[in-house]
């Protein structure tokens, strides 16, 4: 058994003149919950389609659960659970009929886990899928995926379009589902509050490249936020070390910077700042500032 659930080497995918993935080297270890985030066009969906064998790469290779993603067998696919943003299920079938089909299909099926997860939702066995709300379909889809006993569970924007109550139910069902020790979760979302709640590891993709891989708290610790009263127009942004974002609000300059310690305050004092305040940073501001900086300055293909 490989220690890596996902491994890519020099993986690239080109759509015409656009390089969606550029020489991506990614290694995701087995176990826990790994969040993949990135701006639109970062390459997340392309990566998933290649990993699941739905799309061939232009160059390089991708392996999932130790297997070449382009040569997955039905048995290999049975080891992978997948929940996407559409929560696509046959609308004409009943909850009970779909559940029975999955019970027959997956030898590692856990009825206890299925019941535990679906218990977060008011879903009746006799209901047709077409009668379920979007949130109920999401919960039903998650229950099916977890109960099959996957080694790898891929969640691609699973809460997109859900209301606040449905999102909370989905996350609670995931967090309290008592995942088996050998189940690894890959969670893709634009919602940083979700990532902050569930993720053990934060993977940031941008412009088809790997920009960060670390625990979320370690990434947040790299980003600091400073508010300074600097006369006139302030500093030339090109001279500010580690600058991610700068704003002028009510006469004060707000700096979001990367990999700067307390000496950044000395830098601002030396530049003429009359007052300086260091402010706490959350994951949402840290990631969005980081992505905005990188998105504004793409590397060459």
Neighbours of 117 (CB within 10 A): 27
- CA-nearest of 296, 234, 244, 222 to 271 is 234
Q: 4-218, which class in CATH? A: alpha beta
pLDDT value for 251: 87
For the entire predicted model, the pTM comes to 0.88
CA dihedral 10, 258, 202, 218 (to 10 degrees): 130
What are the residue ranges spanned by the domains of the chain?
4-218, 222-296
* Across 245-265, average pLDDT: 93
Question: Cα–Cα–Cα angle for 230, 231, 232, nearest 5°?
Answer: 125
pLDDT confidence tier of residue 203, bands split at 50, 70 and 90: very high
Q: How confident is the model at residue 174 (pLDDT cuts 50, 70, 90)?
A: confident
Q: What is the pLDDT of residue 295?
A: 53
Q: For residues 185 and 153, what is the distance between their CA atoms, to the nearest angstrom?
A: 5
- 246/268 Cα distance (integer angstroms): 13
Distance, CA of 156 to CA of 89 (rounded, Å)? 16
Question: Which residue, 151, 177, 173, 149, is CA-closest to 162?
Answer: 173
pLDDT for 301: 34
Please tell me the least confidently modeled range out of 119-133, 175-189, 262-276.
175-189
Nearest in space to 15 (alpha carbons), one of 60, 71, 70, 56: 56
Q: Do 6 and 51 touch, CB atoms closer than 8 A?
A: yes
Q: What number does CATH give the domain 222-296?
A: 3.30.70
**What end-to-end distance do the CA atoms of the chain give, in Å?**
35
Contact between 257 and 264 (Cβ < 8 Å): yes
Inter-residue contact 257 to 224 (CB < 8 Å): yes
């Amino acid at each position: 058994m490989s220690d890596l659930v996902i491994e890519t080497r020099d993986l690239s995918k080109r759509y015409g003149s656009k390089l969606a993935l550029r020489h991506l080297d990614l290694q995701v270890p087995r176990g826990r919950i790994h969040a993949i985030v990135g701006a639109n066009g970062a390459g997340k969906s392309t990566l998933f389609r290649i990993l699941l064998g739905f799309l061939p790469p232009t160059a390089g290779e991708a392996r999932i659960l130790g297997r070449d993603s382009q040569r997955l067998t039905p048995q290999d696919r049975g080891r992978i659970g997948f929940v996407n943003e559409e929560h696509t299920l046959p609308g004409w079938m009943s909850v009970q009929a779909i559940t029975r089909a999955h019970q027959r299909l997956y030898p590692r099926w856990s009825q206890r886990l299925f019941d535990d997860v679906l218990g977060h939702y008011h879903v009746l066995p006799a209901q047709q899928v077409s009668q379920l709300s979007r949130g109920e379909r999401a919960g039903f889809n998650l229950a099916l995926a977890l109960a099959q006993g996957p080694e790898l569970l891929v969640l691609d924007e699973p809460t997109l379009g859900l209301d606040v109550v449905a999102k909370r139910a989905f996350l609670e069902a995931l967090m309290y589902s008592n995942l088996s020790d050998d189940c690894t979760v890959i969670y893709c979302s634009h919602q940083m509050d979700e990532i902050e709640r569930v993720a053990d590891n934060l993977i940031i993709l941008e412009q088809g490249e790997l920009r960060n891989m670390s625990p979320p708290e370690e990434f947040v610790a790299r980003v600091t936020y400073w508010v300074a009263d600097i006369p006139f127009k302030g500093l030339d942004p090109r001279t500010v070390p580690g600058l991610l974002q700068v704003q002028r609000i009510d006469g004060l300059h707000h700096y979001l910077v990367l990999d700067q310690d307390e000496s950044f305050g000395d830098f601002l004092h030396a530049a003429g700042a009359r007052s300086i305040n260091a402010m706490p940073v959350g994951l949402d501001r840290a990631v969005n500032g980081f992505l905005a900086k990188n998105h504004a300055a793409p590397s060459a293909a």
